[in-house]
């Protein structure tokens, strides 16, 4: 799916559901003091001593995204949150939901193994993409399979299976029903205003991870 095709023919974007009365689980168990990357000034994952790290939402990452997936459409603004963690780290569901889609997005610098979970709050659907997972994460998964809050959903993938990135999980929310197991994780300046409405800040369910 191209990013341009995703943004075509959008007639209505739902409001973000009110989530203040809900309690959510962490998708990755994180230490108290966690390194937060600054990809606006550096174009790759910095060498840090910490095993865990955070890549920010709505961050302009100039010169980071190379290749045909990104450069032709001038995409560089990040619309999810990245949680850096050792390969094999457990990734959990933040709430009760169901498996909506899963696949291996196996192009270079793509998501690799990916799961989208559908959640429902006050009769409104909210979709969450978990990307850069291990191959084992999609084994025995079924469309419509129930997933419960705090349940192990997946595992962080190795570089060789996650699209070629340092191990991390890309977590992104979406108010529109995905047509396939993919979402534009980075967008162009032209797409940015719409993307902010369609892909709300993941901290509404992750909490203050930075």
CA dihedral for 14, 20, 25, 26, sign (positive or negative): positive
Q: For the sheet containing 112-121, what is the strand order? A: 35-36, 53-55, 81-84, 168-174, 124-133, 112-121, 97-105, 146-147
Q: Count CA atoms closer than 13 A to 136's CA, side-chain side.
A: 11
Distance between CA 201 and CA 105 in Å, rounded?
Answer: 23
Please give the pLDDT value at position 142: 98
Asked whether 198 and 149 are in contact (CB, 8 A), the reply is no
Asked whether 86 and 134 are in contact (CB, 8 A), the reply is no
In whole angstroms, what separates CA 197 from the centre of its chain? 16
For each of the chain's 210 residues, which pLDDT tens digit applies? 667 689 988 989 999 999 999 999 999 999 998 999 999 876 555 555 678 999 999 999 987 777 666 756 778 999 999 999 999 999 999 999 999 999 999 998 899 999 999 999 999 999 999 999 999 999 999 999 999 999 999 999 999 999 999 999 999 999 999 999 999 999 999 999 999 999 999 999 999 999
In whole angstroms, what separates CA 183 from the centre of its chain? 8
Burial group, residue 49, by CB count within 10 angstroms (0-12, 13-18, 19+): exposed
Global pTM value: 0.93
Query: Which domains, from first to last, does the chain contain?
Result: 3-11+22-206 (2.70.70.10)
CA distances from 2 to 7, 8, 19, 73, 130 (A): 9, 10, 31, 9, 18
Please give the pLDDT value at position 83: 97
DSSP element (H, E) containing 52: none
Nearest to 176 by CA among 194, 192, 204, 199: 199
């Amino acid at each position: 799916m191209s990013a341009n095709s995703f943004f075509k023919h959008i007639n209505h974007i739902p409001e973000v559901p009110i989530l203040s009365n809900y309690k959510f689980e962490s998708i990755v168990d994180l230490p108290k003091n966690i390194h937060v990357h600054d990809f606006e000034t550096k174009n790759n994952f910095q060498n840090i001593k910490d095993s865990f790290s955070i890549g920010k939402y709505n961050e302009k990452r100039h010169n980071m995204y190379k290749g045909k997936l990104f450069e032709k459409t001038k995409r560089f603004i990040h619309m999810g949150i990245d949680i850096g963690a050792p390969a094999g780290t457990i990734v959990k569901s933040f709430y009760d939901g169901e498996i909506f889609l899963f696949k291996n997005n196996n192009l270079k610098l793509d998501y690799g193994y990916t799961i989208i979970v559908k959640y429902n709050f006050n009769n409104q659907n909210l979709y969450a993409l978990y990307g850069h997972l291990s191959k084992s994460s999609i084994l025995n998964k079924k469309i419509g399979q129930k997933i419960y809050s705090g349940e192990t959903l997946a595992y962080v993938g190795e570089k060789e299976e996650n699209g070629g990135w340092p191990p991390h999980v890309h977590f992104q929310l979406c108010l529109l029903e995905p047509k396939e197991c993919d979402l534009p994780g980075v967008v162009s300046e032209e797409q940015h205003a719409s993307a902010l409405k369609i892909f709300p800040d993941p901290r509404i369910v992750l909490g203050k991870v930075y």
